[in-house]
Amino acid sequence: MGGSYAIIALGYTIIYNGTNIINFAQGEFVMLGGLFMVTLTGKFGLSIFPAFLIAVAATALVGLLVERLAIHPLRNADVMSVIIVTIGMSILLRGIAMLVWGKDAYAAQHFSGDKPIEILGATILPQSFWVIGIMILVVVALQVFYRFTITGKAMLACAVNKTAARLMGVNVENMLMLSFVLSGALGAVAGIIIAPITLAKYDAGVMLGLKGFCACILGGLGSGTGAVVGGLLLGVIESLGAGLISSGYKDAIAFLILLIALFLRPQGLLPLKEMMMRQESH
Amino acid sequence: MKKTLKSDYGILIAFTALVSVVPFMLANKYYISVLIFVAINMIVAVGLNLLVCHAGQISLGHAGFYGIGAYTTAVLTTAHHCPVWVDTLIAVALAALIAWIMGTPTLKLKGHYLAVATLGLGIIMHIVFNEWEKVTGGPSGIVGIPGLSIFGRGIGSDLAYYYLFWSFALLTLLVALNLVKSRVGRAMRALHGSEVAAAAMGINVSGYKVKIFVLSAALAALAGSFYAHYVTFISPTGFGLSFSILLLTMIIVGGAESVWGAVIGSVVLTSLPEFLRGFKDYDVVIYGFILVAVVIFLPAGIIGGLRILKERIGRRGTAESA
């Protein structure tokens, strides 16, 4: 679970860094990824790999549409309106998904069989390895993208200072579009790899999205490393808590941690961005 | 400033008159119960409007405070035989206390941390309503909540509830209008403009924000308590994230710049489902669409749209006379 929270959290981070807004439609990207995957593998009989690519691309396209239709027209509005528009978008996407896929929950195909593997006395679904493996892949790929490509560096520049980036010839508008495409794709990846474990349903994105957001806050909003650490930590605490307290309150644990984190350490466990900013100001 | 306050009072008196005659103009008794829910929602919406408009903060968990109000009332009156109205007072105090505990640390921070914290609280409360079966009855809820009574006489008819709840809604409106125009209101508006400038002028920024947040939570709990007394049956379904978002939608669609926006928003969005019945499952899509469209095309909500319309007509009028 932690692995997919981490990927969802990364999606929030990309948009937050690009635009300073919290994208409440992030969970809907996750849901769409899972449902696209179910349709592509089920109805169209595609095998896992091409279905994965098409589902990610389709959700990235949805991300692009969200940016073009809702975020772009509000580029001069205050942050609060933009946050509210993302809430509206999430309701809209959820409603459309309900019309297309209905209210049923779909079981997605496991990537490599659903027979649990026993390791050191613990039974683990093979899908869990896929989740962790793909999460590591995503993190490495993002690092490479941000560090070694011009586009990645330009996006980072936008995150730090939009005006300065524009002066240096970065096309800020394209970067914002790209950040929505990227986080749409990331949301889809998380949705696809988690769907075999949790089932894909039109409203599955709400909880997953909110928990990804908890992970973000836990790790420190705006920090990529924080998002990954927060996501993994949240997954572990949640499953421990579910075992120790009760599974009914499992979902509450994530939000309780969120509140505690906000009260005690609102800058997150890893205040990387702040450190970065402080260095700049010196 | 004085002039606008006077015109606000004028509108309020006209509105009160309208509210008092409406029940006699309705052909269908059913609409009275719809209007009762409008009054209940309006109490929450006006409080939330103060928070959004004058403290510049959004709450994504007001359904949680509303639920705290409803559940406190339900539990106290059914399991502990608490007299009516006393339970309402306790419910309001409890919500205010929780809001104060939450608001004090989070409102010191810059940014939208209150939205995050209230979102978390709202979801936790919803889970607690569902899971704490011993007290809340779990998913099936609590039945047999007594109705309200005044001076020992029970309120039997919908019409009596209508006048009672609308009196409270109008009173809330009056308080909010006064608050907006008072010293506190000016301080709060300064906050919305620039926190730094407001702080430099000697305004206790986080102190004001906490007060307004506590007030809005208390109003939500009051409305929740009324809801429980009126419906006499509650279950967790109505107290989830979707209701929090519906409340926020009322503020935005109505227009966050003025308290009247909350009035328009709660009237429109409480009665909208009655008109959308025919659309069945599509209503969710329509809500989402309305919210997105209003933020993009009518950033100041219906009330802002009306003002622009009025200005345009006014301009045309003067142009013609000239």
pLDDT of B33 higher than 50: yes
Q: Is A84 on the interface with B (CB under 8 A)?
A: yes
Q: Could you say which residues from 24 to 83 on chain B have a Cβ atom under 8 Å away from some Cβ of chain A?
A: 52, 56, 58
Q: Which residues pair with A117 in a beta bridge?
A: A124
In a domain, A221, yes or no: no
* Number of domains within chain A: 1
Q: Is B131 on the interface with A (CB under 8 A)?
A: yes
Asked if A80's CB is within 8 angstroms of B52's CB, the reply is: yes
Min Cα separation B9/chain A (Å): 29
Q: Which residues of B touch A94 (CB under 8 A)?
A: 284, 288
pLDDT of B266 higher than 50: yes
Q: Which pLDDT score is estimated for B42?
A: 92
DSSP B149: E
Q: Which residues of A touch B289 (CB under 8 A)?
A: 88, 92
Q: Is A260 on the interface with B (CB under 8 A)?
A: no
Asked if A92's CB is within 8 angstroms of B289's CB, the reply is: yes
Q: Is B135 on the interface with A (CB under 8 A)?
A: no
In a domain, A41, yes or no: yes
Q: Which residues of A touch B287 (CB under 8 A)?
A: 91, 95
Biggest CA–CA distance in chain B, Å, is 74
In a domain, A277, yes or no: no
Q: How far is CA A1 from the centre of its chain?
A: 13
Residue B98 CB partners (closer than 8 Å, separation 6+) = B65, B68, B121, B217
CB-closest option in A87, A246, A259 to B120? A259
- CA-to-CA separations, A121 to A117, A118, A124, B286, in angstroms, rounded: 10, 6, 10, 51
Whether A185 contacts A61, CB under 8 Å: no
Q: Is B98 on the interface with A (CB under 8 A)?
A: no
Highest mean pLDDT among A45-54, A114-123, B103-112, B278-287: A45-54
Q: Which pLDDT score is estimated for A279?
A: 46
pLDDT tens digit string along B206-223?
A: 788 888 899 999 999 999
ipTM: 0.78
Asked if A95's CB is within 8 angstroms of B123's CB, the reply is: no
Q: Does the reported pTM lie above 0.80?
A: yes
In a domain, A47, yes or no: yes
Q: Average pLDDT over chain A, rounded to whole? A: 80
Given CA atoms B196, B121, A25, A194 in this order, what sign does their dihedral have? positive
In a domain, A82, yes or no: yes
pLDDT tens digit string along B103-119?
A: 888 887 766 777 888 88
Q: Could you say which residues from 7 to 26 on chain A have a Cβ atom under 8 Å away from some Cβ of chain B?
A: 22
Q: Which pLDDT score is estimated for B5?
A: 59
Q: Which pLDDT score is estimated for B115?
A: 82
Q: Which residues of B touch A80 (CB under 8 A)?
A: 52, 56, 58, 112
CB-closest option in B102, B285, B299 to A92? B285
A144 lies in which domain range? 2-113+125-200
pLDDT tens digit string along B163-184?
A: 888 989 999 999 888 887 887 7
pLDDT tens digit string along A146-169?
A: 888 888 888 878 777 778 888 887
Poorest-pLDDT segment among A36-45, A145-154, B199-208: B199-208
Whether B265 contacts B46, CB under 8 Å: no
Share above pLDDT 90 across residues of chain B, in percent, rounded to a whole number: 15
Q: Which residues of B touch A22 (CB under 8 A)?
A: 112, 115-116
In a domain, A220, yes or no: no
pLDDT tens digit string along A48-103?
A: 788 888 888 888 899 889 888 888 888 777 777 888 888 888 888 988 888 888 88
For the residues B134-147, what does the mean pLDDT come to? 81
In a domain, A228, yes or no: no
For the residues A134-150, what does the mean pLDDT come to? 84
Q: Could you say which residues from 201 to 240 on chain B have a Cβ atom under 8 Å away from some Cβ of chain A?
A: none
Chain A residue closest to B109 (CA)? A266
Top residue of A91, A104, A213, A267 to mutate, by most chain B CBs within 10 Å, is A91
Residue type, B74: A
- CA-to-CA separations, A261 to A187, A264, A267, B12, B116, in angstroms, rounded: 24, 5, 9, 44, 11
